Structures are given as C-alpha cells and as structure tokens.
Amino acid sequence: MELVHTNIPPKFYSATVELEIPAHDLKRLPNGLLDMAHMPASIASISQHNATASPLLRLPGEIRDKIYSSILTSVEFEVYTFNSIPYRISAGPGVTSKRAIGLPSVCRQLYADTSLLLFSKPTFTFPRFGVETCRKWVATLSETQRGAVRKVKCWYYMCNEDFTKMFPGLRVLVAMRYASSPKLDGADLRRIREVQGVGVEVEMEYLDE
C-alpha cells in the first residue's frame, strides 16, 4: 500500500543528512556546525567573489532568508529505510540535486544561510512502522540540528512524549491515521494529550487506504 504525499514528486533522490566539509582547512564548532569565523586563505578570494558575483548572494541577508523560507517551508522530506541503506530522504519540490539537502555544500555563504534552515523549515515525515528509522536518523544529527527541527509527521501511534524528546525544538506534530480507522480513544488519545501537554501542537491527517 502506497502513501501519497501531494507535495513530494514521483522521483526520489538518495540523500545523506551529514553536511560535507570541502577539502579545505575548515573547523567545526562544538555544536557540530562549521566555524564560519575561521576562513582559510585558500577560499577567501572565492567567498569574496561569490558575495559580489552571485545575484542571490548580493541580496541583503533578510531578503535571502525570506526566499529560503518561502521555498523550504513547502518542502517535505520523507525519511525511510531502503534495503540495506539505514535511511534515505526523498527530495521535495524543485530539488534537482541528487543530494536532497545538499544546498549548504554549494558555498560558504549558502552554508551560513541554510545549514539550520534545512532542518527548521521543512516537514520531516516518518513512514508507518518507522520508529527505528527515526531513531537511526536522529542519531546522525548534531544536537543543534535536532533542536532546529520544528515540524514532524508520523503515524499516530508514534506520538508520545518520548518521541518528541528526540526533537527538543519541535512545535508541530502531524499524526497520520487512516480515515476509516475507529475514533481515537484510550491509550492512543492519552499519548497525544501527553504530547500536547509539553507544548507541541498536534494536527491530525486522515489518509485514504
């Protein structure tokens, strides 16, 4: 049985979550992100050229942020297991790169602009029976990346306080459920109320079988 997500294209691309470091003398901060204050001489001229030659990077930071947010808010990444690969992420609308979240790898300024927006703006969806997939994926993220995730979609029985603890900054949890399923009650309803009790908004999404 296939779940249809209207904002995910029919063609999926394999992706990894770890942001690659180019072959330069770059350093990481304790939170796992690159140290943007440290600029090796080998890339200083490249960064300066990009800042003046790129139509996008010439724009003020506030405008660039609005552009990124407008695009990424409509993106839905589906994290799932595939054969022997621990997890994959399907590409969202307009993604042409084989790396669904490879935007920060393009250049230094795009890394600074988008390294956390790629976690805070999109929706991350976990498939049915995807609890273990979620745990494996979360284990690959830095504490800062986990804390940046704001919206997650999962099946209703995954909704509990332990699940939300994996995403400290979570604000919205979309609980998926078949439209033909009986009305929520008992333990399922209690778990959802627990999630609401820790300040996370819960939205129900009913799917056709």
117-146 confidence digits (pLDDT tens): 999 999 999 887 778 888 888 988 889 999
Answer whether 110's CB lies under 8 Å from 104's CB.
yes
What pLDDT, on the 0 to 100 scale, is given for residue 174?
94
| Predicted confidence (pLDDT) at residue 103 exceeds the cutoff of 80 | no
**Residues pairing with 175 in the sheet:** 154, 204
Answer whether 17's CB lies under 8 Å from 141's CB.
yes
Q: Provide the residue type at 206 as one letter.
A: Y
| Predicted confidence (pLDDT) at residue 73 exceeds the cutoff of 80 | yes
Residues in the chain: 209
What pLDDT, on the 0 to 100 scale, is given for residue 182?
79
| Predicted confidence (pLDDT) at residue 98 exceeds the cutoff of 60 | no
Q: Provide the residue type at 209 as one letter.
A: E
Edge-to-edge strand ranges of the sheet holding 172-178:
85-89, 76-82, 123-125, 151-155, 172-178, 201-207
Q: Say how many C-beta atoms besides its own lie within 10 A of residue 160's C-beta.
A: 15
| Predicted confidence (pLDDT) at residue 171 exceeds the cutoff of 50 | yes
Q: Euclidean distance between the first and final Cα of the chain, in Å?
A: 8
Q: Work out the average pLDDT over 162-170.
A: 92
Find where tokens 């627990």 sit: 194
70 vs 129, residue with greater confidence = 70
What pLDDT, on the 0 to 100 scale, is given for residue 185?
79
Contacts of 158 (CB under 8 A, 6+ apart): 126, 130, 131, 134
| Predicted confidence (pLDDT) at residue 29 exceeds the cutoff of 90 | no
Give percent of the chain above pLDDT 70: 74
| Predicted confidence (pLDDT) at residue 17 exceeds the cutoff of 60 | no
Comparing CA positions, the residue from 149, 140, 124, 9 lying closest to residue 85 is 140
What pLDDT, on the 0 to 100 scale, is given for residue 36?
67
> pLDDT-based confidence at 112, cuts 50/70/90?
confident
| Predicted confidence (pLDDT) at residue 13 exceeds the cutoff of 60 | no
∠ Cα 26 98 158 (to 5°): 90
| Predicted confidence (pLDDT) at residue 23 exceeds the cutoff of 70 | no
Residue 82 token pair: 């595939």
| Predicted confidence (pLDDT) at residue 195 exceeds the cutoff of 80 | yes
Secondary structure class of 206 (helix, strand, coil): strand
| Predicted confidence (pLDDT) at residue 161 exceeds the cutoff of 60 | yes
| Predicted confidence (pLDDT) at residue 56 exceeds the cutoff of 80 | yes
What pLDDT, on the 0 to 100 scale, is given for residue 62?
94
205 vs 13, residue with greater confidence = 205
Residue 203 token pair: 């939205």
Handedness of CA 23, 26, 28, 32 (dihedral sign): negative
205 vs 83, residue with greater confidence = 205
Secondary structure class of 89 (helix, strand, coil): strand
Q: Which secondary structure element, helix H or strand E, spans residue 56, and what is its range?
A: none
